[in-house]
Amino acid sequence: MEVVQQRKRETKLKRWQKVSLIFLGVFIVLIISALIFVNGYINRSLPQIEGNVSLAGLTETVEVIRDGQGVPHINANTDRDLFMAQGYIQAQDRLFQMDMARRQASGRLSELAGEVALERDKYFRTLGLRRAAEKSYQSYSEDAKQVMEWYATGVNRFIEQAKSSNSLPIEFTLMGGEPEKWTPIDSLTIGKYMAFDLGGHWERQAFNYFLLQNLPEEKANELFPTYPNNAPTIMKEEEVNISSLLKEAVLPHPFNGSNNWVVSGDKTASGKPLLADDPHLGLATPSIWYQMHLSSPNYEVSGVIFAGIPGIILGHNQNIAWGVTNTGPDVQQLYLEKRNPDNPNQFLFEGEYEEATVINEDIKVKDRGNVDYEVIETRHGPIISEFAKKSGKETALSLRWTALDASTELEAILEINQATNWKQFEEGLEKFLVPAQNFVFASKDGTIAYKANGKIPIYEEGSDALLPLEGWKEENEWKNFIPFDELPTVVNPDKGFIATANNKVVGDEYPYHISNNWAQPYRYQRIEEVLQEKNKLTTKDMKELQMDQKDLRAQEFVPIFLEQVDEEGVNDYGAKALQLLRQWNYVDDVEAPEPLIFNRWMKAFSDRLYEEQIPEGMMEFFKGRGQTTDELIRKVSSGENVTWIEDQGGLSKALTLSLNETITDLIDEHGKEITSWEWGDFHKVEFTHPLSSVAFLDRFFNPKDPKPVGGSKVTVMAASYDYNEGIVDHGASWRFVADLNDLSSASHLVGPGQSGHFRSKWYHSQWDNWVNGGYHETKTKDYQGKQLMLQPE
């Protein structure tokens, strides 16, 4: 009986095993089928780069060749077809990025992201970048408007095709939305957002005001670049609380800057000028830049453009090359506004209350419905925080900003693209108003030139944009702007080169105020040092200089630190660290321990100075903190008294304590073998996709681990990083070198790659080159690659 029961159990087990295997097989088949479906669905949105595509609206066939780095070369027989094709091709590679850019700048992220983006949307609705774009559109010529329409038509043809074939980028499916039709206003709004990203200095005005509200005047003044002679009366703290008033403000990254330089043929091996440019912006996937080559009867231009905008903003044509850095002028001014206690929409001006403009914004929020939001604009500009009303006080802050005026940057870009010499180029610049930029220029005729270009307000002597101004006084109004012909300009200087790196661009003899907050001078000093000492320069020298990691800040301050630190007050590990610093060559090498020790020591010292008296929320407004800290150290080391440092027991004590703190932290993070520490263990770069913060998407959109990288925020090879995690998030978003001896090609680097599709071979194809200094040559003649023919319907 027992044997029979055993056999029954075995038979039953075999049946279950067989059934289980069948179920497992079916499950595996279903999983594989699902993966094949998902894979096919995702791959369906990869751009078509070969064959033929019909495009309604084209007048003739357009050839598009994508070269080995995915750079599209568009050849058209008419300008209409060229810009339609440009819109179509950009949308193929970057449609989701384009849609997110216009949503962010327009204050419409909540429609896709939900309530988490609501405060950000309110801020951008308040700024009114889209309203400014609409005003700007009216200032454009009919020809420029036509270009924008052609471009928008090309984008919309792609959107229509992608919707009908169910091949929109996967990000739209994940976010639960679809792109609307593209319009010229969308392109101009993205341009206004770039003006925001490169910004002005209202944050520092707010910070300076906070200092005077909360600290003794002498101590507050020590953090000022200078102090205005006729500063406005500081109001009582309870009347306008800066720290709470601006807590929801969205601030651009403080490191947004750039390097550029141009060298005369007298100093080059080819006998023709060399030009180099590397704009420093956020490092992300996709890149902020999209590289293209455009060819038609009126255009032959190669370089980069922001996705969502026609033309080429930086690059070269057959005769000239150009590049930019951020000038950083004071083009933003905060105004204190006195509100009528009986009417919250009226503000005082010269003894009378004026009616403000009230704009009702209807914000659509996913999974919540519509939110009614009210924006108030005074004569100066928008009240930049809704908290001004909620505070119940009679004082608010408004923002006057040149970018909120009508401006014509795209018109300038189109003219620059067709310029053949400095005269034509400079004429085009007159229409480039915001953001103010340092343009460097070179032409085949040998001319090199520079212009700090843009709409820069004239400040009366003594006001100098350091503090909010009283908005109820006529004397504080902006009345004029620096005349175009009087903007800083240099043509063919005797020294044979021109360079800028967001440094101070004018001396005390210049009659107009430009800015109080310039970048630390180290990048510029290093560029100038290399260009002065060398002749017979080549493109190879230019590339090496763009990757130069010599740290002149360390070269200045390490000797001071070594002289001032109390060596008896540090332990054996600290003593070893000091010994390493004594032998350092001041290069922020990825494998060296010294840049790790110095940069972390400098941060710990800076934190020690400020953290107790400046709340965390206000530290974000401390623009130029590094420059200010450097100046305080210089003053003390030269014998001056500085309250901020004296309050820490003096420079020696502050340096000793911050070094001990630094070494303790580094041992916890990297172990006790100090000589084995490496800068790259902490300092790493990654290019993150905006949706990668969703955990399960990270492995798809960010398939590579962060890579160790050298350089720092003060080296020519710019690599600014998050001070807590060490992740490099700002740096050279594009690197460019052109030899005017042969403009049929130029050297480029677009990090991390051309494509916005994570399945594309060009998604992260330039990441390693970004780290190691690699470039690709982009030709305007005799290029080869995958051919796509866009044909009229």
Query: Tell me, what amino acid is at 121?
Result: D
How far is it, in rounded angstroms, from Cα 278 to Cα 287?
13
Number of Cβ within 10 Å of residue 744's Cβ equals 13
How far is it, in rounded angstroms, from Cα 395 to Cα 376?
13
How far is it, in rounded angstroms, from Cα 596 to Cα 604?
12
Peptide bond into 286 cis (omega under 30): yes
> How would you classify the pairing of strands 320-326 and 437-443?
antiparallel
Peptide bond into 615 cis (omega under 30): no
User: Long-range pairs for 165-172 at CB < 8 Å and ≥24 separation?
Assistant: 165/44, 166/41, 166/44, 167/44, 167/45, 168/45, 168/95, 169/45, 169/95, 169/96, 169/756, 169/757, 170/41, 170/42, 170/45, 171/96, 171/691, 172/96, 172/99
Tell me which residue of 746, 744, 748 sits closest to 735, measured CA to CA.
748
Which one of the listed residues 258, 463, 755, 760 is annotated catalytic? 258
Contact predicate 148/310, CB 8 Å: yes
In this structure, what is the dihedral angle of CA atoms 549, 550, 555, 557, given to the nearest 10 degrees? Answer: -30
How far is it, in rounded angstroms, from Cα 23 to Cα 28?
8
Distance of CA 441 to the CA centre of its chain: 22
**Residue 291 φ/ψ, nearest 5 degrees:** -90, 140
Q: Is 330 annotated as a binding residue?
A: yes
Active site residue 258: yes
How far is it, in rounded angstroms, from Cα 306 to Cα 79?
19
Q: Which residues are annotated as a binding site?
A: 330
Query: Which residue numbers belong to the known binding site for Ca(2+)?
Result: 330
* Residues annotated catalytic, as ranges: 258
